[in-house]
Structure 1
Amino acid sequence: MSTPHDYLPRDPAWRTPAFAPFYKTTVHRAPRAPLLSLRNTLSEITGPVFGHDDIGPLDNDLIRNYAQDGEPVGERIILHGRVLDENARPVPGALIEIWQANAAGRYRHRNDRYLAPLDPNFGGCGRTLADDEGRYAFRTIKPGPYPWGNDSNSWRPAHVHVSVFGRAFAQRLITQLYFEGDPLIPRCPIVRTLPDPAGVELLTARLDMNAAIPFDCLAYRFDIVLRGRRATPFENRPEGT
């Protein structure tokens, strides 16, 4: 058995800036001192290992996994793609988790005070394992945009948060995807922190009519690339794994 090794520290050149004056909360939370790189513990680099027994039959179906007495309101969609390395090879067994607002733009969270209604049949969370070809898929409701307190009229584009777990706690990447054609994307201060405009394209899920189900739902494809020049921008580790 090979000996586990620490993961490489993050490359600051790939990071979105911690301080961006047009993104108001960074003014208060940006670090005042240089960041430190801490060594990983043995448990962080050797576990967990996720298996299909850990995933319920409805975990990737957000239309049904929280439904109480009907289906949630909103545009039904399929969100699918592949988890790939820098050479477009599949990454099997990755645990993909998503969370999102409902069709009205409200999260099922006690701190969300947006005046939009909660949907009693929508929880907004799901998870699945990538198959042997790195493929994953969710059924869900397309989230709505919502206002936030960056300035007097800031709105988040419709988006879905995505977490990807590898085979260790230290192998977690977090990002969020947007939807093709949304006019709010270039107006969002969070999106504008990306140093390379091409990064926005890498965070945009594309309409995929080939995967749509006629008379049921549209589909959007979002491939997650872990490393390399075309890697998906990640919030917690922009340079990838």
Structure 2
Amino acid sequence: MSRHANLRRRLVLGGGAALLSLPLGAVERVLTPGQATGPFYPVTPPLHKDNDLTRVEGRSGRAAGQISDLSGRVTEVDGRPLAGVRVEIWQCDANGRYRHPRDRQGAAEDPNFQGFGHTVTDDAGRYRFRTIRPVPYPGRTPHIHASVFPGDDVPFVTQIYVAGEPLNEDDMLFRRVPEHLRPLLLAEFQPVEDPVAELAASFDFVLSPSLAGLFGPPPAA
């Protein structure tokens, strides 16, 4: 069996018969697995909606933690870039605390971490955020929540994990993803030479308005 045929077979078995309609060349791009939104999506997103989570409007300080640039592309499964698409991310601060009233753990909140940001993809489907390398949250491996809004459809939601993080293997939500699809949710945070950012990571969203939900989301924990 050829590499393309074998991959196509795995996609159909994992994602449903709808994938049979995809062109053969498209099977090289596997849909990004979806995941649950989680309990800490902002109740009221901050008024200063931007793509730099390491600054808070009205404050001079910068967020604690390893400042990181997260960038990538949003495309259809056939490789077509999705331009003008809204992308959101949210995560806990370097202390492991979310900017959310339901997060009542004892950790102090970092007043210089915005906790939520959004941007819009350019003509090539590219996006970029400045944030921090995610840290563990009680009971969870380091992760960044992300939503993509393709047109007027229901947003595609997933979580971005850190490649090489030992806690991934014990994380309940990460382990719910079929093993052969888990690499699609990993981002490598690598050192960079930048006046501000210590690390940079790349993560691509591959989705289709009609097929984005085939691999998720799983039931909320």
- What is the TM-score of this pair, normalised by structure 1? 0.65
2:184 and 2:99 map into 1 onto residues whose CA distance is: 27
Residue 194 (structure 2) aligned to one of 192, 214, 237: 214
1:186 and 1:127 map into 2 onto residues whose CA distance is: 29
Pair 1:236–1:162, CA change in 2 (3 A):
farther
Q: Secondary structure at the match of 2:172?
A: coil
1:42 corresponds to: none
Pair 1:61–1:94, CA change in 2 (3 A):
same
Kindly provide the CA deviation profile for residues 114-148 of structure 1, in whole angstroms up to 9, marking residues without a partner as x.
2221001112000000000000000012222021x
Residue 205 (structure 1) aligned to one of 187, 198, 205: 187
1:230 and 1:59 map into 2 onto residues whose CA distance is: 25
1:51 corresponds to: none
Whether the aligned pair in 2 keeps the contact of 1:58 and 1:64 (CA below 8 Å) is: no
1:167 corresponds to: 151
Q: How many pairs does the alignment contain?
A: 176
Identity value in percent: 39
2:165 corresponds to: 182
2:217 corresponds to: 235
1:180 and 1:99 map into 2 onto residues whose CA distance is: 18
Pairing 1:122-137 to 2, within 5 Å after superposition: 122-137=113-128
2:52 corresponds to: 61
Shift of 1:87: 2.0
2:33 corresponds to: none
1:208 and 1:230 map into 2 onto residues whose CA distance is: 29
2:68 corresponds to: 77
Gaps of 5+ in 2: 1-11, 17-46
- What is the TM-score of this pair, normalised by structure 2? 0.70
1:92 and 1:117 map into 2 onto residues whose CA distance is: 38
2:121 and 2:49 map into 1 onto residues whose CA distance is: 15
Shift of 1:171: 3.7
User: Which has more radius of gyration?
Assistant: 1
2:73 and 2:213 map into 1 onto residues whose CA distance is: 13
Whether the aligned pair in 1 keeps the contact of 2:81 and 2:124 (CA below 8 Å) is: yes
1:62 and 1:193 map into 2 onto residues whose CA distance is: 29
RMSD: 3.1
Shift of 1:58: 6.3
Letter in 1 for 2:52: D
Whether the aligned pair in 2 keeps the contact of 1:100 and 1:160 (CA below 8 Å) is: yes
Kindly provide the CA deviation profile for residues 163-221 of structure 1, in whole angstroms up to 9, marking residues without a partner as x.
100110x3411111001111111111111112x21221111112356xx3435321000
1:96 corresponds to: 87
Residue 205 (structure 2) aligned to one of 224, 227, 237: 224
Letter in 1 for 2:180: A
Whether the aligned pair in 1 keeps the contact of 2:49 and 2:118 (CA below 8 Å) is: no
1:82 and 1:66 map into 2 onto residues whose CA distance is: 27
Pairing 1:105-144 to 2, within 5 Å after superposition: 105-144=96-135
Shift of 1:162: 0.4
2:143 and 2:58 map into 1 onto residues whose CA distance is: 21
